A and B are shown apart, each in its own frame.
Chain A
Amino acid sequence: MSAVVTETAASSVRVVLDGRRFQGPAVDFRETRVAADDALAALDPERSGPDGLRIDAPEPGPLVETLGPVDGSRGADRGVLAAVARSRGHDAPQDDAIAEVRDRLAAVDPPTVDRRAMRRRLAETTAETDRLRERVAELRGRLQERRERGGDTATLAADLDEATDRLVDAETERVAARQRLDRAREAAREARDLRERRLELEDRLANRRREARAALADRALAGFVATLATVPAAADGLPSDPVAAELAAYRHGRPTAPVVLAADCFADAASAAAWLDAPVLRV
């Protein structure tokens, strides 16, 4: 296995693959088993790549996290353009409001009352009570009949006493289960005001974020469109070409981690790194 490394002026990335070291602005993994997801996993400090692969590079910031590999799977939508603007250091007018809503949201913590076991208990005790009630009625009927016929009633009477005792116990348990569940339902009902409040805040947060994305995307749009016109010929350079759009987004943005390139649009990884002005991992 080998990876081809080419030196250019762009800042570089260090890769260790199966004990071999590669360093440069562009590392070409096409001859190896490293796929786009492997490279992204190895870049992400919260995940880890396949055994034998280590990539030393700054952590992927919002732009790389939003856009992922250049493979035409996302193109450049509003979310990507917003990430481009953020990577260029722009803020959104909604940022303070977003932080405030997030703080308020974090403070809303409705209690959870798990009522599943209580519902089950009530159903069980109710079924048991019904069963015993039928049993008592049946025994009572048989005892009555036996008495009328003048037979021995001692065993039946003992059975009835026992069933009656058990019915009383079951009834007590059923009432207790009912009360426990009623109390828990009451508590859940009260907590719903809090949940409703949280949902309002969640909606508000989503709205502010949407507005922020739109505002940031607007800031990046002109520069992105101008960059798109300069994407090399291998991609057709039309706004509808998702690979071209992703390249233009990375070029116009400031990716902190190497760009994972999984599309044919440059002669080699080095020319991709040169055009993008960023380290490139070609997969």
Chain B
Amino acid sequence: MLLLVTYSRRARERLRNACRTHEDVVVRRFGRAALLAPTELSAFLAVRLRAECGDDVQVERTEPFNEFEAVPEGVREAARAYADREHPSTPYSAFAAGTDHPDPETMREREL
């Protein structure tokens, strides 16, 4: 899908108008951003907005997130284990210390 984020009043207004006119390609709207269906019409709107508003619009292409495809097992397991932790106030770094779970610094450095 295409994620459009606007950074000026003019760009925001144009995105709003485009979304109003082409409701069928709008998957979701968030204030000054919108997620558009992966269609040529969405791409047309994105390129047009880029041409009109330059850097005041950010266009990103998104894809569904499948942790079983994209995420190493250790990271997945750490996340699930942390979500199930006994003491909600334990920060993750303390939770991971002394276990096999990766520490936040290591994860930060590793690209997905």
Number of residues on chain B facing chain A (CB within 8 A) = 10
A116 contacts which chain B residues (CB < 8 A)? Answer: 50
Whether A112 pairs with B54 at a CB distance below 8 angstroms is yes
Write the chain A residue with the least CB distance to B7: A195
B9 interface residue (CB < 8 Å to A): yes
Complex CA gap A192/B58 in Å reads 9
Whether B7 pairs with A192 at a CB distance below 8 angstroms is yes
Contacts across chains A and B counted by CB atoms under 8 Å: 28
- Chain B 51-103 interface residues, beta-carbon cutoff 8 Å to A: 54-56, 58
Whether A188 pairs with B55 at a CB distance below 8 angstroms is yes
Write the chain A residue with the least CB distance to B8: A199
A236 interface residue (CB < 8 Å to B): no
Whether B55 pairs with A112 at a CB distance below 8 angstroms is yes
Write the chain B residue with the least CB distance to A189: B58
Write the chain A residue with the least CB distance to B55: A112
Whether A199 pairs with B9 at a CB distance below 8 angstroms is yes
Whether B54 pairs with A202 at a CB distance below 8 angstroms is no
A114 contacts which chain B residues (CB < 8 A)? Answer: 54
Complex CA gap A202/B12 in Å reads 12
Complex CA gap A206/B12 in Å reads 14
Whether A195 pairs with B9 at a CB distance below 8 angstroms is no
- Chain A 63-88 interface residues, beta-carbon cutoff 8 Å to B: none
A199 contacts which chain B residues (CB < 8 A)? Answer: 7-9, 12, 32
A191 contacts which chain B residues (CB < 8 A)? Answer: 55
- Chain A 195-250 interface residues, beta-carbon cutoff 8 Å to B: 195-196, 198-199, 202-203, 206
A267 contacts which chain B residues (CB < 8 A)? Answer: none
Write the chain B residue with the least CB distance to A205: B9
The distance from the CB of A209 to the nearest CB of chain B, in whole angstroms, is 12
B54 contacts which chain A residues (CB < 8 A)? Answer: 112, 114
Whether B7 pairs with A196 at a CB distance below 8 angstroms is yes
Enumerate chain B interface residues (CB-CB to A < 8 A): 7-9, 12, 32, 50, 54-56, 58
What are 28 residue pairs bridging A and B, where the CB atoms are less than 8 Å apart in the complex? A110-B55, A112-B54, A112-B55, A113-B55, A114-B54, A116-B50, A188-B55, A188-B58, A191-B55, A192-B7, A192-B55, A192-B58, A195-B7, A195-B8, A195-B55, A195-B56, A196-B7, A198-B7, A198-B8, A199-B7, A199-B8, A199-B9, A199-B12, A199-B32, A202-B8, A202-B9, A203-B9, A206-B9
